[in-house]
Homo-oligomer: A and B are copies of this chain.
């Protein structure tokens, strides 16, 4: 632990400078206009892996953005850890709400503000630096493989193909991912589950052209009004989702599981104050921690139609659209839910409009075991670096790839996240606390150490 702390201390500034260089790439996978920057980002990551000491580094092409692969094989007999991360980031808009530009990393009260600072550049880069540390201090206790993709924010569809095509290359004993959050540095935690995702886009078409709302108002269905009615009908008065069969596969938690889960530190008042809302909202009968961690949800991610410019236009629009995503919990299946949504949404549309539902992407929910060698290694690592036992939590986010690893490679994942829920992931002013960045670099080598020891 001393050597680790010393190495981190001696290289503090350089680690930060390198992360800043990485954060300056606007690697937005959702928007084709950033293609060139995406490729530069992949090259940057590959270079850093080489410099850190990987024997083999490849930029693997896919039908979409390339996957950066790197490895250091000490001895085939040693256990192997596969580190996963992603170099792509969410779109930065609405830009006007950023205090400082999203791709010009800025430090304010010990926090790094930049798109991707926490999700996931800042977090996967901790692994690159921890790897460098272990190489330079000759303390790497196991084989290590890196797979850093560029399409996590758009569904990882090409990664899925890559994984099933490269099972031998990716052979490992555990997957280690830092792309989630912990409660706080005072309350370190480990996520033991993730929600799945089903993301669709809906289009409602009324008349074949925009119409004068005076001449035609009252005579033809307004697609914006109909879309509102359709969306409104997706939650009942208790905020249960009304799609038939939606909850069929949901496994209810046991009383003890719920009790355990609700032990996590949570202050509803602080939560409301942080978000500046007077009242929370959600499915009746469940606590906030349960609603975000263990219950499926349906959210409108975007809605648009008609005239949205300056001033007033008295138009009856021809079309209205919405992007809608559902978070899924263990035992629900993304494809099945997408179909249930499509069938239901099309079935409730009135004859006065035409409705089209286009699936975007999805991912399966996962639960990670808490009795595995890998989980125990993570517990010991965190205990040593934080001086506290990690609290097991359920994450509300989705990392589709986790379920895929289990299916394709037959290995479990450890979700050792060092971000915070308050890091504004996917929002303006995304940040990552510098302390968490360094803490991660310190903790990761300990995970490798204990994983190797416990695997003996």
State which of A106-114, A420-428, A432-440 sits at the interface with chain B: A420-428
Q: Does A100 contact B (CB under 8 A)?
A: no
State which of A162-170, A293-301, A373-381 sits at the interface with chain B: A293-301
Chain A interface residue count, Cβ-Cβ cutoff 8 angstroms: 101
Instruction: Collect the chain B residues with CB atoms within 8 Å of residue A278's CB.
Output: 351-352, 354
Q: How far is the CB of A283 from chain B (nearest CB, A)?
A: 6
State which of A1-9, A19-27, A47-55, A224-232 sits at the interface with chain B: A224-232
Q: Does A14 contact B (CB under 8 A)?
A: no
Q: Does A255 contact B (CB under 8 A)?
A: no
Are B323 and A214 in contact (CB-based, < 8 A)?
Answer: no
Q: Which of chain A's residues 274-325 have a Cβ closer than 8 Å to chain B?
A: 275-283, 288, 291-292, 295, 297, 299-317, 320-323, 325
Q: Which of B213, B314, B426 is in CB contact (< 8 Å) with A315?
A: B426
Are B222 and A396 in contact (CB-based, < 8 A)?
Answer: no
Chain A interface mostly: loop
Q: Does A91 contact B (CB under 8 A)?
A: yes
Q: Does A235 contact B (CB under 8 A)?
A: yes
A325 to B217, CA, bound (A): 10
Q: Which of chain A's residues 91-145 have a Cβ closer than 8 Å to chain B?
A: 91, 93-94, 97
Instruction: Collect the chain B residues with CB atoms within 8 Å of residue A361's CB.
Output: 312
Q: How far is the CB of A436 from chain B (nearest CB, A)?
A: 16
Known A-B contacts A224-B303, A280-B219, A307-B302; the reply to A213 vs B325 at CB < 8 A is: yes
Q: Which of B91, B233, B281, B327 is in CB contact (< 8 Å) with A220?
A: B281
Instruction: Collect the chain B residues with CB atoms within 8 Å of residue A59's CB.
Output: none
Known A-B contacts A209-B97, A426-B212; the reply to A217 vs B396 at CB < 8 A is: yes
Are B212 and A425 in contact (CB-based, < 8 A)?
Answer: yes
Are B222 and A299 in contact (CB-based, < 8 A)?
Answer: yes
Q: Does A159 contact B (CB under 8 A)?
A: no
Instruction: Collect the chain B residues with CB atoms within 8 Å of residue A222's CB.
Output: 281, 299-300
Are B302 and A217 in contact (CB-based, < 8 A)?
Answer: no
Known A-B contacts A215-B181, A224-B302, A396-B218; the reply to A313 vs B323 at CB < 8 A is: yes
Q: Does A188 contact B (CB under 8 A)?
A: no
Are A304 and B308 in contact (CB-based, < 8 A)?
Answer: yes
Instruction: Collect the chain B residues with CB atoms within 8 Å of residue A275's CB.
Output: 207-209, 211, 216, 220
Instruction: Collect the chain B residues with CB atoms within 8 Å of residue A277's CB.
Output: 206-208, 220-221, 352-353
Q: Does A66 contact B (CB under 8 A)?
A: no
A352 to B215, CA, bound (A): 37
Are B426 and A154 in contact (CB-based, < 8 A)?
Answer: no
Q: Does A61 contact B (CB under 8 A)?
A: no
Instruction: Collect the chain B residues with CB atoms within 8 Å of residue A219's CB.
Output: 271, 280-282, 288, 291-292
Chosen A-B contacts, 27 in total, with CB atoms closer than 8 Å, are: A30-B313, A94-B210, A201-B312, A207-B276, A209-B275, A209-B424, A211-B275, A213-B297, A213-B426, A218-B292, A220-B275, A220-B281, A221-B277, A228-B228, A228-B303, A232-B233, A279-B351, A301-B312, A301-B313, A301-B315, A301-B316, A302-B305, A302-B306, A302-B309, A311-B360, A312-B360, A314-B398
Residues of A participating in the B interface, judged by any CB pair closer than 8 Å: 29-32, 90-91, 93-94, 97, 153-155, 181, 195, 197, 199, 201, 206-222, 224-225, 227-229, 231-233, 235, 271, 275-283, 288, 291-292, 295, 297, 299-317, 320-323, 325, 327, 350-354, 360-361, 395-398, 421, 424-429
